[in-house]
Structure 1
Amino acid sequence: MGSLGTVSEATEVLQRVFGYDAFRGNQQDIIEHVVGGGDALVLMPTGGGKSLCYQIPALVRPGTGVVISPLIALMQDQVDALRTVGVRAGFLNSTQDSYARREVEEAFLDGELDLLYLAPERLRVEATMRLLDRGKVSLFAIDEAHCVAQWGHDFRPDYLELSALHERWPDVPRIALTATATDATREEIAHRLNLTEARHFVASFDRPNIQYRIVPKNEPKRQLLKLLQTEHAGDAGIVYCLSRASVEKIADFLVENGIEALPYHAGLDSRTRAANQARFLREDGLVMVATIAFGMGIDKPDVRFVAHLDLPKSVEGYYQETGRAGRDGLPSTAWLAYGLADVVQQRQLIDKSEGDDAHRRRLNIHLDAMLALCETVECRRGQLLAYFGQSQEENCGNCDSCLTPPEAWDGTIAAQKLLSTVFRLRKERGQKFGAGQVIDILLGKTTDKVRQHRHDQLTVFGKGSELRDTEWRGVVRQLLAQGLLGVEGDFGTLVLTEGSNQVLFEQRQVRLRREPERTRAPKAAKSSAKAKAAIELTAEAEPIFERLRSWRGETARELGLPAYVIFHDATLKQIATELPSSLEALGTISGVGENKLAKYGDQILAVLAEVV
């Protein structure tokens, strides 16, 4: 676009190319800083508009913006989306043949690309470095920058090489972006990418349109099915499982129950993974059941729910994964089923993990923070934001703790009874058992195992009849979460900790969370006063919206594009509500830029003429 641009140029590009009236949050400050040649480290939640923070400076500054992204499987979609709005974009990665690569290289050297996407490993190839030397680079954007953090949730060794960018091209501004990072991770990113002099921009991590819910596990498959059938029928969503076997099992279970679901994990061949991902991105209403191998960089805006059937290893991972819901700002659900076995399993995985004691300590710190989020009696969102060093003035009104407040109770006596049982088994019998046997002893159950080991002769036998089995399991889970009880070995046997001694012998009080009886699902996310304003369709607008969605689906199939690349739901809802009758009026709709207006405007007006 010629000479270095101004803020007014950036605003003009925002409106003309992308079809938005104004910048959101601190987008304008970031763009102004990078356009002026400054380095930036940007922390902004998924759906907050991170990509515009480098795309617009690349369009305003002379040369080509080079985007380093680990998402090879998604580069084609990212480039297609940019081309749809009239941006000249290309990519270089290992999926291309030599002819396609040469074509992109020539376009770059001829100054005919606004944006060039590269996988980080390409920058380890000297030929790529020489190519960039021969062309004009306007900026380097390092997407998913948390991949550089050694103890983050998605470390990629290739990212460590990116610190060399500044040494080779000292005058080219760099912008590193991530959707999640604690202060410690942010400092590590800055250090490892040689961005210590960069200006930091930290947006609010709040996603008010997402309703956070964490439920005790009780037949999790059935709980998931009920959630999908009652609240998210026909919606696109992601279900995360810890193991490949679980992924296959849950996907089959959903299909058997009439829900179109696909599996995704590293054990599938690359062709199947790519095909399933492409279907999820291009079709409406599919459910992807996956390990955490799936999801980074998924731009699908209409994911209405993210469900976890296993406990995430860290709050950062949980935030990143749940952030794939509701990128369009419309009401969405983040749902997690969590139980005692999750805590035991994660503790065991940490004990067996490779690495030194310091590494295991870090993993335990991550897990402790995740457990604290699960067990809090306070607002979930407040706890989540506090983890990232941010605060909220009042409860959010859009999480399960706010919608159906749990009760905190004094669990000291219950904790002492349970710890005393573990203590007596060890001291009097030299034995260690898992939670099930300990709870059977407290409830006075005369099972074969109890009789075999003569546990009915222990003084604690039958002393816990005031709580039900499920309540005792909650006590064990919360004691494990608080570090007041330990677990060891492959069979998850319970052991005492220093904290246990404080409860047993030093009168330490134990506060526990009692889950409320839930007779109905919480109110929909859109009822929250803090949720981002969304267009509510009237009865008259609903069929028009559905007809526009149908047109969008047909058009996307013809062009081989994901439907959201044509238009987001939010744009179609505004069209269905405002019913523009001319190209000029259609051009004022949010998300309808110059190129899309020219490409699709007449078709949309024709659809409206049919149904209005």
Structure 2
Amino acid sequence: MELVSKEELNRALKKYFGFDGFKGFQDKIILNVLSGNNTFVIMPTGGGKSMCYQLPALMSEGTAIIVSPLIALMKNQVDAIRNVSESDDVAHFLNSSLNKTEIKKVKEDVVNGKTKLLYVAPESLTKQENIDFLTSVEISFFAIDEAHCISEWGHDFRPEYRRLREIFAAISNVPIIALTATATPKVQYDIQKNLNMLDATIFKASFNRDNLFYEVLPKIEVEKRIIQFIKTKPNQSGIIYCLSRKKVEEIAEILQVNGINALPYHAGLDANSRARHQDMFLMEDVDVIVATIAFGMGIDKPDVRFVIHHDIPKSLESYYQETGRAGRDGGVGHCLTFYSYKDIEKLEKFLHGKPIAEQEIGKQLLHEIVSYAETSVCRRKYILHYFGESFDEKRCDKHCDNCKNPREQIEGKDEVLMFLEAVKALKQQQKAKYVCNFLSGIQASDIIAYKHDILPLFGKGSAHDVGFWNAVSRQCLVSNLLTKEIETYGTLKLTEEGKAFMKNPVSFMLLKEHNYAAESEEDFMMNSKGSNNMVSDENLYKLLLDLRKKLSQQKNVPPFVIFQEPSLLDMAIQYPINKEELANIVGVGQGKAARYGVPFLELIKTYVDENDIDRPQDFVVKSLINKSGLKVHIIKNVDIKMPLDAIANSHGKEVDEIINEIEAIVASGTKINIDYYINDMMDEDEQEEIYEYFREAETDNLKEAFEEFDGDYDEEQLRLMRIKFMSEMAN
């Protein structure tokens, strides 16, 4: 590969993407790739990882092979790169979703040198026909996106990723760039070793996402709180993660009933439904996607304003990855998590029956997420410490709940010293839970088996409970007095700072930890205020948004593919009226200006001519609160097949009123299954007769239905069958 100057690199960035400067280490990473060196990039979600292989691919001879784990993610990446280019041939994906004709077209474009980026699933790379084909063409370099999938210690381990190095070697001896948003030091080494690239130049950006607000709440009236929270953010995009498919469906329906535009996304949906729901989210036809925790990389949307975890994820890596979906455009992102230890117990059950080593890894990862949830330390500091990065909590600037509402502090010098002495007395061979039980004087079977109950320190800390000592252990770790030995699944070791503390103890202020099991709603009120400090012409901005939406529907691409929000906001400040001025707007390159610019320039010019503009206005977001508790309870009770008369009695209402509510639920677009109730009052033939009537009728008017059947069915039967029909056919 030819050496490239920084000036050439900056010109290429402006030409292809419309940006005036690089973020963080992007320029150094790209120059390293273009110099033919192996490269390892650890950069948080939203930090601009994709640019690190997209720009060098566009600048290099041959085709770059991008390994990506999800079909949906590949599609998004390909669409994005095509929309900053003049030709769609510049990028393709090769995976199981393509038919033979489409595969032939992809290969022809690669052979003819038109395609600079080819996204490939790891499973597709293992096919000999694809290996043979790629061996026959010029490859510029290999890129592995989501490289943490290689490591068993990563949060999304994929066995097929472990074979990538041997496949690369069979295709071409070109450089490799591996990229991930989440890698602890252990995962980082594991990736490099597996790819045989210990010689790689490492670029590790800060994991700090200073535009994200982190918050953990106790799991009390969680549906109500989620609805209240979302209602303060009208028309803003958000993702809600749940542990199970059933919960995804339930939460999506509850949101719909409460007037929130939401859809489910999980592996149990058919492929067409998943694709449709995701596209509606990307196209801004729906505000909120409710998804299983296993899902995440498929949603690549820059303007997600909040990420809610209805259930705690299984690791801190997963949590960081999923919360990182918020605010990728640099705007405000609120990360709200609901925590109950019962969720942890559910996740622990999933580990049963797995190999011992996998169980130990899983338990260690769960311990870390529990520690994060329960800690009163700055959440940003805790996350960054986990990824091997030090952070002064003063820099958090009240951007997490613990810094915004600090917990009570007590002098803990003696307790910290006692804990460190216990770690030493136990020969630095035990985990935190063991040390806490030991100091509390708990006669656990393993403590007795090791005869540690006869040591002088056993029970010396019994004035405090295990929860207190857990807090001490966590704060010792974050303060670097202790470290965890990963290879032994969390054994505590003294650091040099810890040994120094034992020789010369100094004041140590302990934070009182959260006790989520005992928290009441009054103790822990949710903070959901947001702000938007952008200064722009609000009226013009709205007109630009409307135009973008209209064009997105015409061209069948997500709105943000045309122009992202920062670009529209910049237009509403700069008022560009020609292509040269438009090209200087943030995020607008020559390709986009040529492809989409004309209607925006016409709109802005007309607006400037018709209005006397002195000063931009503040952009204000209005909030709305709405409650619909009865509908939520009806959906829940129908889900457990409770008779409608029992539901009515529990609310002091008549069955007729409950049917009214169910009709309203179905009319709002929510599916509801009352077959269990209908089956008890009507046989199959009767149901089929009424169902066929509604299928062929020109109106759903009940009076006409009653007359059609000459009174054979009463009003309640007809109403229930109409509900069934509308739920199944209309929704």
* Pairwise TM-score range, normalised by the shorter structure: 0.7 to 0.9
Counterpart position of 1:236: 237
Q: Partners of 1:101 and 1:610 in 2: how far apart?
A: 46
Counterpart position of 1:182: 184
Counterpart position of 1:550: 546
Q: Is the 8 A contact 2:142 2:175 kept in 1?
A: yes
Amino acid at match of 2:311: D
Q: Pick the structure with greater CA Rg.
A: 2
Q: Partners of 2:286 and 2:278 in 1: how far apart?
A: 13
Tell me: higher relative CO, structure 1 or 2? Use CA pairs within 8 A at least 6 residues apart: 1
Amino acid at match of 1:16: K
Aligned to 1:204, what secondary structure does the other structure show? Answer: coil
TM-score of the pair, normalised by structure 1: 0.81
- Structure 1 residues 77-156: aligned runs within 5 Å: 77-86=76-85, 88-156=90-158
Relative to structure 1, is the Cα distance of residues 503 and 555 closer, same or farther in structure 2, using a 3 angstrom cutoff?
A: farther
Aligned to 2:251, what secondary structure does the other structure show? Answer: helix
Q: Is the 8 A contact 1:236 1:284 kept in 2?
A: no
C-alpha displacement of 1:576 = 0.7
Counterpart position of 2:578: 582
Q: Partners of 2:325 and 2:314 in 1: how far apart?
A: 17
Deviations 1:535-559 (A, max 9, x none): 6134xx1121111111111111111
* 1:43 partnered with 2:49: no
Q: Partners of 1:482 and 1:26 in 2: how far apart?
A: 42
Q: Partners of 2:268 and 2:19 in 1: how far apart?
A: 41
Counterpart position of 1:537: 535
Deviations 1:408-428 (A, max 9, x none): 5799xxxxxxxxxxxxxxxxx
* 1:10 partnered with 2:13: no
Which stretch shifts more, 81-90 or 541-550? 81-90
Deviations 1:412-462 (A, max 9, x none): xxxxxxxxxxxxxxxxxxxxxxxxxxxxxxxxxxxxxxxxxxxxxxxxxxx
Q: Is the 8 A contact 1:50 1:177 kept in 2?
A: yes
The share of aligned pairs that are identical, in percent, is 41
Aligned to 2:364, what secondary structure does the other structure show? Answer: helix
- Structure 1 residues 371-410: aligned runs within 5 Å: 371-395=370-394, 396=396, 397-408=398-409
Counterpart position of 1:288: 289
* 1:602 partnered with 2:598: yes
- Structure 1 residues 33-432: aligned runs within 5 Å: 33-86=32-85, 88-169=90-171, 171-230=173-232, 232-283=233-284, 286-350=287-351, 352-356=352-356, 358-395=357-394, 396=396, 397-408=398-409
Amino acid at match of 2:462: Q
Q: Partners of 2:20 and 2:129 in 1: how far apart?
A: 41
Q: Partners of 2:160 and 2:556 in 1: how far apart?
A: 31
Which stretch shifts more, 398-407 or 515-524? 515-524
Counterpart position of 1:562: 558
TM-score of the pair, normalised by structure 2: 0.68
Amino acid at match of 1:313: K
Relative to structure 1, is the Cα distance of residues 507 and 21 closer, same or farther in structure 2, using a 3 angstrom cutoff?
A: same
Amino acid at match of 2:303: D
Deviations 1:550-584 (A, max 9, x none): 11111111111111111110111011111112221
Q: Is the 8 A contact 2:227 2:255 kept in 1?
A: yes
Deviations 1:506-546 (A, max 9, x none): 436425424794556265376xxxxxxxx6134xx112111
Deviations 1:2-41 (A, max 9, x none): 9554433222111111000011111111101000000111
Q: Is the 8 A contact 2:14 2:589 kept in 1?
A: yes
C-alpha displacement of 1:51 = 0.6
Relative to structure 1, is the Cα distance of residues 97 and 169 closer, same or farther in structure 2, using a 3 angstrom cutoff?
A: closer
Relative to structure 1, is the Cα distance of residues 159 and 340 closer, same or farther in structure 2, using a 3 angstrom cutoff?
A: closer
Q: Partners of 1:32 and 1:598 in 2: how far apart?
A: 28
Aligned to 2:335, what secondary structure does the other structure show? Answer: strand
Q: Partners of 1:256 and 1:39 in 2: how far apart?
A: 52
Q: Partners of 1:261 and 1:520 in 2: how far apart?
A: 22
Q: Partners of 2:32 and 2:458 in 1: how far apart?
A: 54
Q: Partners of 2:444 and 2:267 in 1: how far apart?
A: 37
Relative to structure 1, is the Cα distance of residues 609 and 284 closer, same or farther in structure 2, using a 3 angstrom cutoff?
A: farther
C-alpha displacement of 1:259 = 0.3
Aligned to 2:214, what secondary structure does the other structure show? Answer: strand
Of 607, 611, 618, the residue aligned with 1:611 is 607
C-alpha displacement of 1:339 = 1.7
Q: Is the 8 A contact 1:30 1:53 kept in 2?
A: yes
Q: Partners of 1:346 and 1:297 in 2: how far apart?
A: 23
C-alpha displacement of 1:285 = 5.0
Which stretch shifts more, 292-301 or 106-115? 292-301
Q: Partners of 1:520 and 1:321 in 2: how far apart?
A: 21
Aligned to 1:305, what secondary structure does the other structure show? Answer: strand
Aligned to 1:15, what secondary structure does the other structure show? Answer: helix
Relative to structure 1, is the Cα distance of residues 394 and 484 closer, same or farther in structure 2, using a 3 angstrom cutoff?
A: closer
Relative to structure 1, is the Cα distance of residues 495 and 262 closer, same or farther in structure 2, using a 3 angstrom cutoff?
A: farther
Aligned to 1:513, what secondary structure does the other structure show? Answer: coil
Counterpart position of 1:513: 513
Amino acid at match of 1:193: L
Counterpart position of 2:567: 571
Q: Partners of 1:406 and 1:481 in 2: how far apart?
A: 23
Amino acid at match of 1:115: L
Aligned to 1:150, what secondary structure does the other structure show? Answer: coil
Aligned to 1:90, what secondary structure does the other structure show? Answer: strand
Q: Is the 8 A contact 1:403 1:523 kept in 2?
A: no
C-alpha displacement of 1:261 = 0.9
Deviations 1:46-103 (A, max 9, x none): 1101011001111222111111111212323322221111161112111111111111
Aligned to 2:577, what secondary structure does the other structure show? Answer: coil
Aligned to 1:73, what secondary structure does the other structure show? Answer: helix
Amino acid at match of 2:599: Q
C-alpha displacement of 1:136 = 0.7
Q: Partners of 2:48 and 2:349 in 1: how far apart?
A: 39
**Number of residues paired by the alignment?**
523
Q: Partners of 1:547 and 1:252 in 2: how far apart?
A: 32
Counterpart position of 2:24: 25
Q: Partners of 2:445 and 2:602 in 1: how far apart?
A: 71
Deviations 1:208-234 (A, max 9, x none): 11100001111111111111112x222
Q: Partners of 1:171 and 1:6 in 2: how far apart?
A: 24
Q: Is the 8 A contact 2:184 2:386 kept in 1?
A: yes
Q: Is the 8 A contact 2:68 2:122 kept in 1?
A: yes
Aligned to 1:326, what secondary structure does the other structure show? Answer: coil
Aligned to 2:294, what secondary structure does the other structure show? Answer: coil
Deviations 1:318-337 (A, max 9, x none): 00000001100001100001
C-alpha displacement of 1:585 = 1.3
Q: Partners of 1:118 and 1:227 in 2: how far apart?
A: 39
CA RMSD, aligned part only? Answer: 2.6
Give the ranges of 4+ consecutive aligned residues of structure 1 lying more than 4 Å apart after TM superposition: 408-411, 480-486, 494-506
Amino acid at match of 1:536: M
Deviations 1:316-360 (A, max 9, x none): 01000000011000011000011232233334444x25111x322
Stretches of structure 2 that go unaligned for 5 or more consecutive residues are: 413-431, 472-511, 609-731
Q: Is the 8 A contact 1:66 1:118 kept in 2?
A: yes
Q: Is the 8 A contact 2:139 2:172 kept in 1?
A: no
Q: Partners of 2:173 and 2:11 in 1: how far apart?
A: 26
Deviations 1:280-299 (A, max 9, x none): 11225521111023221522
Deviations 1:222-279 (A, max 9, x none): 111111112x222111101111111111111100000011111122222211221121
